[in-house]
Structure 1
Amino acid sequence: MNINTKSFLSLFIFSLFLLNLSAQEIYYPTSGTWEEKDPSAFNLDFSEAIEFAETNEYSESKDLRQAILKGFQNEPYHDILGPTKRRGGPAGIILKDGYLVAKWGDTKRVDMTFSVTKSFLSTTALLARDRSLIKDIEDPVINYVWDDTFEGDHNSKITWKHLLEQNSDWSGELWGSYDWADRPSREGGIDDWRNRQLNEPGTHFEYNDVRVNVLAYSLLNVFRKPLPTVLKEEIMDPINASSSWRWFGYENSWTTIDGLKMQSVSGGGHSGGGIFINTEDMARFGLLFLNNGNWNGKQLISEDLIEEAVQPSVTNSNYGYMWWLNVDGPRQWKNIDKDIFYAAGFGGNFIIVDRKENLVIVTRWLEPSKVEEFVQKIYN
């Protein structure tokens, strides 16, 4: 072996050592604790961004029942079916390499999180796929659900992937809510909406909570136990989350499985319910995705499924499996890395994941129209 070869091997081995050392430097908080570091230790300064978040609070009522009714007042038959909770003020956390480097507001307060719930819901679908309860994400859901939820020429074509990407165009009624009455177009009236032309599954994106709740109901049938139990056992307990979070459905979203009455949860707070959680537990969830499903050496979700979940869908380049993506498209945040992905909910609730810079950003009750400017201030 000549000296150049020896030098190359030495350099290669040293590089592997550095990569391993870097991987070991990711910090995983234990239960009830979180090591803090000054952002200056990483040559970072978030003071301007924090001040911006604190002074641009969500402008609607802190009585979220009233905010919901106002926000969806144009929907026919809209009603509050699940619990709501009066919200707190602006709050947030920023993590770097897992360390808590910035926080503002009451990060331990439990609040509604609205459509951020969808990213938790899609995570339970990844768990079902990981455990082969779902054989293939492109399988028709009718093969897994025993009742008539997916009967008919149209609904029988719908796959798990269609539901996850919100392009299923599932048609029907669930828990007293009709798909056509959820965020209907501004044109036409009830007769036009009810008799609308159906889109082929997989060809048309539409943000629709009734169809999201169909996914939750379908996953309940697959797991044969409540999704909050699945999330707690498989994700939240392993990442050392608190015991204060809750996941609710509606007053009437109950079904019987194996002789036991179980509640099918909702994928958001559009009609109340969804996940109620504190900022710190949201940050832990974001940290799990930052580390590609690995928590302190334990792979809770397969890395390839995490990657699959954050790929652009055919019908919406800015949407994956219920995660928003910052790639080219109408929802892209300008001058921000395109690999960033995030969970977003009504009222300005966000979990933002930046795997390149090892950052997790959680912000709550930030005026939604201001989030792009807030994120830009993080990176300035």
Structure 2
Amino acid sequence: MKKSIIFVVALLLFSCSSEDTSNNEEAMYFPPIGSSTWETKTISNLGWNQDAVQPLLDYLELKNSKSFIILQNGRIVMENYFNGHTASTNWYWASAGKTLTATVTGIAEQEGYLSINNKVSDYLGTGWTNIPLAKENLITNKHLLTMSSGLNDALGDDVSPANLQYVADAGTRWAYHNVYVKLQDVVSEATGQTWTNYFNTKLRDKIGMTGGAWIQNGGLSVYWSNTRSMARFGLLALNNGKWENNQIINENYFRNATTTSQNINLSYGYLWWLNGKTSYHLPQSQFQFSGSLITSAPNDMYCALGKNDQKIYVIQSKKIVIIRMGNEADSSTFGLSDFDDVLWQKINAVIN
């Protein structure tokens, strides 16, 4: 009799344990390629705070947002559009699209077309800057990925050779500079394909970012897409560069991209911003700020931040991706503003 009781108790414990494990290990969902189908979850299913949803939406609308999405483990929990924007409307990523360039550069490296440790002039030839050859040859693709080229960041968006001037040796100074866009030329030269064609075939089409396009703006190529396409890229980032069973970008490269990349701005990877570090620098400033980039956000978050508050937030510990597109929320002209911190206070009220 005692043996039977012990067996039943053990069986019940095993069943409960198995159920808990299966719930905790729910497979990450990836929306089908070429389909508008996208699985959803509800706030109540997740045990989140429904009462905090409307204050979050009110704040987003007040702050000139056009769209907002939260994914949890790949499934849509919130998807909202404001001020006449729709699910099919394209909007610009601004500098949040730098992470697309970082990703495609990594794909080209894994395919053997280039090395990020090689100097840029190996691909573009000498004279791509207006600095002495010995200094130009110090600049590698990795310096462009990490904003440490040493070129003058105070001369505007023009990246023609005459406007790329020396300030410091590569690797000795961090400065937010649009010279990163030269990586698109490096990829094009290395692969023998146009940047757009290589991007479309190696990244966009493989994860279903349909309808997006690179559009020239003042000499720079800026990506435009609908909000779900941005969410698809965020989901790829959440899964360390893997889409279902297809490793789009080498996992080791992607982890390096979302880890501190140099010892000057600890909150910067390969064109990704990193939260939870002990200090950070901001665009057009050499001042080092103490503390975390966005204090109210999770410490393990990495993010793509663009002008006028375009946002991709990725939090692996919570299996969450958050997208915000719109006009500038406040008076900030750069990718980061106090909007991030207040927005995260509102998000935390929902998800915690």
TM range (shorter): 0.7 to 0.9
TM value normalised by structure 2: 0.77
Greater shift after overlay, 329-338 or 107-116? 329-338
Q: Which residue of 2 aligns with 1:102?
A: 78
Structure 2 residue matching 1:347: 3-state secondary structure: coil
Cα pair distance change 1:369/1:183, threshold 3 Å: farther
1:92, 1:107 within 8 Å by CA — same for their partners in 2?
no
Could you tell me the percent identity over the aligned residues?
A: 25
Match of 1:149 among 121, 125, 128: 128
2:112 aligned with 1:132: yes
The letter of the residue matching 1:221 is E
Match of 2:225 among 255, 277, 284: 277
1:317, 1:327 within 8 Å by CA — same for their partners in 2?
no
Q: Which residue of 1 aligns with 2:29?
A: 27
**In the aligned structure 1, how far is the partner of 2:182 from the partner of 2:309?**
25
Q: Which residue of 2 aligns with 1:181?
A: 155
CA deviation profile, 1:290-309 (whole Å, cap 9, x unmatched) = 01111111111111111000
Q: Which residue of 1 aligns with 2:99?
A: 119
1:94, 1:100 within 8 Å by CA — same for their partners in 2?
yes
**In the aligned structure 2, how far is the partner of 1:162 from the partner of 1:147?**
16
Gaps of 5+ in 1: 1-6, 58-88, 172-178, 185-193, 254-265, 267-272
Cα pair distance change 1:39/1:205, threshold 3 Å: same
Once the two structures are superposed, the pairs formed by residues 1-80 of structure 1 within 5 Å of their partners are 18=21, 25-30=27-32, 31-45=35-49, 47=53, 48-57=55-64
Match of 2:150 among 169, 172, 179: 169
2:144, 2:180 within 8 Å by CA — same for their partners in 1?
yes
**In the aligned structure 2, how far is the partner of 1:197 from the partner of 1:134?**
25
1:49, 1:375 within 8 Å by CA — same for their partners in 2?
no
The letter of the residue matching 1:353 is V
Structure 1 residue matching 2:70: 3-state secondary structure: strand
Task: State the 1:333 CA deviation.
Answer: 1.0
Task: State the 1:148 CA deviation.
Answer: 2.8
CA deviation profile, 1:176-227 (whole Å, cap 9, x unmatched) = xxx651279xxxxxxxxx8986211011111111x12222222221122122
**In the aligned structure 2, how far is the partner of 1:321 from the partner of 1:236?**
19
Structure 2 residue matching 1:181: 3-state secondary structure: coil
Q: Which residue of 1 aligns with 2:239?
A: 291
**In the aligned structure 1, how far is the partner of 2:164 from the partner of 2:80?**
49
1:155, 1:170 within 8 Å by CA — same for their partners in 2?
no
Structure 1 residue matching 2:216: 3-state secondary structure: strand
2:150, 2:166 within 8 Å by CA — same for their partners in 1?
no
1:37, 1:100 within 8 Å by CA — same for their partners in 2?
yes
Structure 2 residue matching 1:281: 3-state secondary structure: helix
TM value normalised by structure 1: 0.72
Structure 2 residue matching 1:317: 3-state secondary structure: coil
The letter of the residue matching 1:96 is Q
1:115, 1:345 within 8 Å by CA — same for their partners in 2?
yes
Cα pair distance change 1:294/1:225, threshold 3 Å: same
Q: Which residue of 2 aligns with 1:85?
A: none
Cα pair distance change 1:239/1:195, threshold 3 Å: closer
Gaps of 5+ in 2: 1-9, 280-288, 330-336
Once the two structures are superposed, the pairs formed by residues 166-245 of structure 1 within 5 Å of their partners are 166-170=147-151, 180-182=154-156, 198-209=167-178, 211-242=179-210, 244-245=211-212
Match of 2:314 among 353, 363, 366: 353
1:309, 1:321 within 8 Å by CA — same for their partners in 2?
yes
Q: Which residue of 2 aligns with 1:249?
A: 216
RMSD over aligned Cα atoms: 2.8
Task: State the 1:50 CA deviation.
Answer: 2.4
**In the aligned structure 2, how far is the partner of 1:321 from the partner of 1:223?**
21
